[in-house]
Structure 1
Amino acid sequence: MIVKNFVNLRVFVTSCLLLVSACGEEKGRIAGVGFHNDIKTRDPQILLSLIASTTTPDDSRLQADKIYKEIADPKSDARLAVLEQMFFAPGHSDAMRIHAIDELAAADPNRCARAFINYLPRLEENAGLDVLKHACTIAIKLQDPRLLAPLARSASNAVENTNAWSNRAALRELPELDALAQLADRPLADALLHVISTSREGAPRIAAFNLLQIDHPALPRTWSDRTQRVQDLSDLFQKRIPYDVFCNNLRTYFGLFKDLPKGETEHAWVRTVLSSENLASTQQAAQTWPKQSTLREPRFIHAIQYGAARGAGKDFNAYADHIASLLKPLATTPREAAHAVDVPNSTGLPADRKHITFEDLLTIDLLLTAFQNPATINEFHRLGLEDMSDTTTEHGGLLSLKNPDKPDAVIAPYKPQFTDSDQRYAVSDDLLRDAIKGLALYHFHFHKIHNAALAGPGAGDMAFARKTRTNHIVITSVGPRQINIDYYTPNGLVVDLGTYTAKE
């Protein structure tokens, strides 16, 4: 009896569990979606949620959008907002992005154009080439001249990100270039000049100027010769481009350097070296300094001003020999080859001077002058000891000058971007922004008093200098009250500037 009742009870419980399981929600089901992904709901809000959902199958999303258009206003702000965010938001398939572009263009061409202005330059970050090609096709159909600028920015971003300036095969794959010419209804070069002439913002103008320098078959064939390209663009800027600060700087740049700036970084150099406070020094230097000069880099603004003030001459080798004679009597510091990168084991300029520019010599001259002031060495030593007491990070900042005519060093500490290692100084955005105002960025190797084995820049230090195009000094504790200082640059130059003793 007990056994029989137990068996019946087990059958009953099992049946109940099966019934509950059958009545439960199907695994993976989406609210508002029936079996086989059929859309059952007619609630506009749920439909919009389905359209926007990146976890809903594309066919269900398309069906939801179709139903929404049947039961609600297809031009409603809520629907258009969903379509617009699908342009750029991550997670959407290319097919859904193309659908969103088509639907937004059909419902509200002006809003679609505004979306292109905002998102087209960044579209490739989340979308495939097919989406970009389709967006360019729609941009041509919209016939909105405001789209010339984002098309130029999008193409320029692709060129810079892939370094495809002379890669004809890659450049032919850029759909924005054909769209630019068709939308402007003029040859590509004229379309780009039109962007420069009509844009009020710097980014589209820089992008268009970048694209004037690519090796593309739609541009004049004679421009394969860079000298001819520089001359032609210089002439075009004289005749057809308005006289404003941006274009005037480029005209001056053409004349001084017989070259063209590429990319946002080099255009930042243009704005700096040709600014009102630096133009006279730059012009003087361009006319009189030797071929080893690098006037176009803002990291040398102090050096350019200093050299112009003292009437620096044309003889590079004579000046290099002079700097070498200043370095020779300074104390030497042993190196650990595993740490230092191409660092000489004694003070002085490297025998091979291919990485040295005339401005490097001027900068070293300025640094050596600054280090003759005991207050400068004392302050570096004090800040280094503060670094030694902080085991969460290295410390650093910016070394600048009060007066290039009579150099007086100004040492400005900057907090690191973050702290995660006693053997790393994470340069902050503020310091990078202000780097142009100084002679060099500095940081300390003050892990212990006797730290000579780690004197000089490490591989990470050199890589950072190359990436940011900035000059640096690294200050190492090599004994009680003794510091060693090394200068290094993005070109791979490393110069041991000697060992100095802080006063009591």
Structure 2
Amino acid sequence: MITLDLNLTTRKSSVPCGLLGLGIVLMLAGCGGPTVTDPSRILADPGEVPARHRAAVGIAQGQLGDKETERLLRRMIVSPGYTVESREVAWDALVRMNRESLGRQLEVDLPRLDSPMWRARVCELIVEETWIEMTPTLIRAWARPSPGFDGEPEDRPERKALIAMYGEEQLPRVLVQVMLDADPIVAANLRARCWELLIAEGRRDMVVELLGTAQVDEKDGLFRDLRTITSRTGVVPSNREEILWARALCKPENREYLDEIVAIVESLPTDRRKGILEMRDLGILVGASRLDPGLLELDAPELASRLATMVDAPGRRLYTADFTGYRGSHTERLREVLDRLDWGDLLAIMVAVEALKIQPMLSHLFDHAERDLMDKGTEFGGIIGIDDRGRFEVLEFPPRIRKGDIRFEAPQEMFDAGYSGLFHFHHHAQKYENRDYAGPHLGDFQYADGTRANCLVFTFIDSRTLNADWYRHGGVVVDLGVFRRPD
């Protein structure tokens, strides 16, 4: 049972918290450097040595006043080019001058710091300060991908800082308490991040128990909606995007759609139901039911056997991107990834293959890819859905922002449509002879990991041929084969 009135206490760090003395320094003692006469210029220059930055801080307070000095120091905390030592000079001064203001800045900037060494040092400094008010900030930063960090998830500096303050055994309880204490409206994103980290920490059991036992305000929309999805479908959302997905399905306008999902889930054998399904499976269940209810009666081996004849015939050529130089192995052949596919994956692939048999579907996709080829400012993308009469549809969406011919930035309207759709898709249509770029690339894998959607990518092999690939989170890809332009 989860105790909800947690009395969390921090562990005192063994690292001393001495602040650097910041008295007025007029000369660079022992360095033979010139007198600091323009502290503003010195503090604004990342190329200056830490000793001169330190000297400039004291003089700046006297010459420029606290407000301007704070502005310069806050810039040193986040601007590129400064050494860790110089940044720490700015940190020490800001802690002394206006600790609260520094905390507000870190709330925004710590999750976005792109210097791994400085990000790690900031986390250490928070521990040295025993700055427990920074707990929510550490959680927000931990939940976001860290630029330049290539270690194991458990080695993230934000996680280490929280463990140093609270202890590893207490860490899940800290996440629970922060989630329960946070304002349901103002801190909705923080609450979602706590949930996401609990799942990542392998504490799905705690999340399920929390939904069942937590005493929260009945007007708390997050818990109300997550309880609805989990109790009715058995799905436990695992990240922020899946939480938004679950909440979208609980909106009044989606009531009939959710009822349809629940009816299908309840008709499934127990081994395919609660605790097994993911959010992305729910739309596929509806699609399969509307297309051919008999598909839902097939078990995983039966689906795999059918798909083998469709997409994995002996001798069939595969078109795939070149991942030479990247860690790990990469394959898109069904038989070689079969051990990573569950029943929901196989059903999704089957629905995708059936959709690509429809001539009007292919005509629309080829037309869309042609327009993408002509537009050098963005890739094109959208949602493949299915209406209540079992007819597939291609929903096009303009990019949220145009960032070049090798990127598609999905807008929120596309996500909204995807909550009741089947697949997110985009094209690799930079040229007709584009076979070297067939299949998802690293950015596409990141998109799938973040959205946890079923995804498709269509690549021109030549002017009359598109290659199709299905992929999902975890870097799992299946090549669906090539499709000819309808005459």
What TM-score results when the alignment is normalised by the length of structure 2? 0.67
Larger of the two Rg values belongs to structure? 1
| Alignment match, 1:306 | 287
| Alignment match, 2:262 | 283
Determine whether 1:84 maps to 2:68: no
Contact 1:195 1:205 in 2 (8 A): yes
Q: For residues 113 and 486 of structure 2, what CA distance do their matches in structure 1 show?
A: 56
| Alignment match, 2:6 | none
Determine whether 1:152 maps to 2:135: no
- Structure 1: tracts of 5 or more residues without a match: 1-31, 216-223, 420-424
| Alignment match, 2:451 | none
| Alignment match, 1:495 | 480
Alignment of 1:245-260 (within 5 A): 245-255=221-231
Alignment of 1:18-417 (within 5 A): 36-39=32-35, 41=37, 46-70=38-62, 73=65, 76-123=66-113, 125=115, 127=118, 129-138=120-129, 140=131, 145=133, 147-157=134-144, 164=152, 167=154, 174-179=160-165, 188-197=171-180, 198-199=182-183, 200-213=186-199, 228-236=205-213, 238-239=214-215, 243-255=219-231, 261-272=237-248, 277=254, 278-289=257-268, 291=271, 295-298=277-280, 302-307=283-288, 313-317=296-300, 320=303, 335=317, 353-354=338-339, 355=341, 357-358=343-344, 360-361=346-347, 364-365=350-351, 368=354, 371-372=357-358, 374-383=359-368, 390=374, 396-401=380-385, 403-410=387-394, 412=396, 417=402
| Alignment match, 1:428 | 408
Q: For residues 208 and 115 of structure 2, what CA distance do their matches in structure 1 show?
A: 36
In structure 2, give the amino acid aligned to 1:100.
A
Contact 2:321 2:441 in 1 (8 A): no
Q: For residues 191 and 433 of structure 1, what CA distance do their matches in structure 2 show?
A: 35
Instruction: Give the Å deviation of 1:407.
Output: 1.2
- Structure 1 residues 136, 48: CA separation in 2 closer, same or farther (over 3 Å shift)? farther
What number of residue pairs does the alignment pair up?
Answer: 424
Q: For residues 64 and 332 of structure 2, what CA distance do their matches in structure 1 show?
A: 72
Instruction: Give the Å deviation of 1:403.
Output: 1.5
Contact 2:198 2:207 in 1 (8 A): no
**SS of structure 2 residue aligned to 1:429:** coil
Q: For residues 93 and 411 of structure 2, what CA distance do their matches in structure 1 show?
A: 46
- Structure 1 residues 164, 259: CA separation in 2 closer, same or farther (over 3 Å shift)? farther
Contact 1:487 1:495 in 2 (8 A): yes
Q: CA RMSD in A?
A: 4.8
Determine whether 1:467 maps to 2:467: no
Instruction: Give the Å deviation of 1:150.
Output: 1.0
Contact 1:152 1:180 in 2 (8 A): no
Instruction: Give the Å deviation of 1:108.
Output: 2.6
Q: For residues 385 and 172 of structure 1, what CA distance do their matches in structure 2 show?
A: 46
- More displaced, 241-250 or 361-370? 361-370
Instruction: Give the Å deviation of 1:429.
Output: 0.5
Give a deviation string over 1:400-428, Cα, whole Å, max 9, x none: 33624331423537579555xxxxx6231
Contact 2:50 2:86 in 1 (8 A): yes
In structure 1, give the amino acid aligned to 2:284.
A
Instruction: Give the Å deviation of 1:250.
Output: 3.3
Give a deviation string over 1:116-167, Cα, whole Å, max 9, x none: 3223334573615333221344362xx7x5x3321321343479966755x4
- More displaced, 101-110 or 289-298? 289-298
- Structure 2: tracts of 5 or more residues without a match: 1-25, 323-329, 449-453
| Alignment match, 2:7 | none
**SS of structure 1 residue aligned to 2:46:** coil
**SS of structure 2 residue aligned to 1:426:** coil
Q: For residues 489 and 406 of structure 1, what CA distance do their matches in structure 2 show?
A: 23
Q: For residues 356 and 308 of structure 1, what CA distance do their matches in structure 2 show?
A: 18
Contact 2:382 2:397 in 1 (8 A): yes
Contact 1:370 1:407 in 2 (8 A): no
Contact 2:27 2:34 in 1 (8 A): yes
In structure 2, give the amino acid aligned to 1:466.
F
Contact 1:472 1:489 in 2 (8 A): yes
What TM-score results when the alignment is normalised by the length of structure 1? 0.65
Q: For residues 63 and 476 of structure 1, what CA distance do their matches in structure 2 show?
A: 61
Q: For residues 221 and 298 of structure 2, what CA distance do their matches in structure 1 show?
A: 34
In structure 2, give the amino acid aligned to 1:67.
I
Instruction: Give the Å deviation of 1:318.
Output: 8.6
In structure 2, give the amino acid aligned to 1:61.
H
Contact 1:417 1:428 in 2 (8 A): yes
Contact 1:281 1:304 in 2 (8 A): no
- Structure 1 residues 248, 318: CA separation in 2 closer, same or farther (over 3 Å shift)? same
Identity of aligned residues (%): 12
Q: Which has the higher contact order (CA 8 A, sep 6+)?
A: 2
In structure 2, give the amino acid aligned to 1:488.
W
Q: For residues 427 and 64 of structure 1, what CA distance do their matches in structure 2 show?
A: 44
Contact 2:379 2:408 in 1 (8 A): no
Q: For residues 234 and 53 of structure 1, what CA distance do their matches in structure 2 show?
A: 52
Instruction: Give the Å deviation of 1:78.
Output: 0.7
In structure 1, give the amino acid aligned to 2:303.
A
Give a deviation string over 1:83-123, Cα, whole Å, max 9, x none: 22222222223333333233223223332332232233345
In structure 1, give the amino acid aligned to 2:123.
L
Contact 2:139 2:193 in 1 (8 A): yes
In structure 2, give the amino acid aligned to 1:398.
G
Contact 1:151 1:180 in 2 (8 A): no
Instruction: Give the Å deviation of 1:486.
Output: 3.3
Q: For residues 316 and 406 of structure 2, what CA distance do their matches in structure 1 show?
A: 26
Instruction: Give the Å deviation of 1:380.
Output: 4.0
Contact 2:264 2:285 in 1 (8 A): yes
**SS of structure 1 residue aligned to 2:477:** coil
In structure 2, give the amino acid aligned to 1:426.
I
- Structure 1 residues 500, 342: CA separation in 2 closer, same or farther (over 3 Å shift)? farther
Contact 1:113 1:139 in 2 (8 A): no
- Structure 1 residues 358, 468: CA separation in 2 closer, same or farther (over 3 Å shift)? same
